[in-house]
A = this chain, B = another copy of it.
């Protein structure tokens, strides 16, 4: 059930933060792995396959972060209504557009 609360007040916030850091460290490791593959002059198709895996991991990271943002900051602003809601919804729309087009 959604009870609208501010971003940092969310009880699960630290849990989410830890999970995000863990996922980004994994991506960092994958990118260093790509560097080794290039250094070892590995076959291009294998490198391309690994890059697609990194891109998909970043995409999933963004979708989850966007979802939490909608459930906290945007929901809080919408509950208040007015210009704040308008601004938050426009920001979310622009972020979704960047995500779709990257």
Q: Chain A residues in contact with chain B, CB under 8 A?
A: 1-4, 7-8, 17, 20-21, 24-25, 27-28, 31-32, 34-35, 38-39, 41, 44-45, 47-49, 51-56, 58-59, 61-63, 65-71, 73-75, 78-79, 81-83, 85-86, 89, 91-93, 95-102
Residues of B within 8 A of A59 (CB): 55, 100-102
Q: What residues on B are CB-neighbors of A68 within 8 Å?
A: 44
The distance in angstroms between the C-alpha atoms of A48 and B68, with both chains bound, is 12
Residue numbers in B under 8 Å from A21 (CB-CB): 35, 38-39
What separation, in Å, do the CA atoms of A44 and B17 have in the docked complex?
11
> 20 new A-B pairs (CB below 8 Å) besides A28-B32, A63-B96?
A1-B83, A2-B85, A3-B81, A4-B81, A7-B44, A44-B65, A45-B69, A45-B92, A45-B95, A48-B62, A49-B95, A49-B98, A51-B65, A52-B98, A59-B101, A63-B100, A67-B89, A70-B89, A78-B78, A96-B99
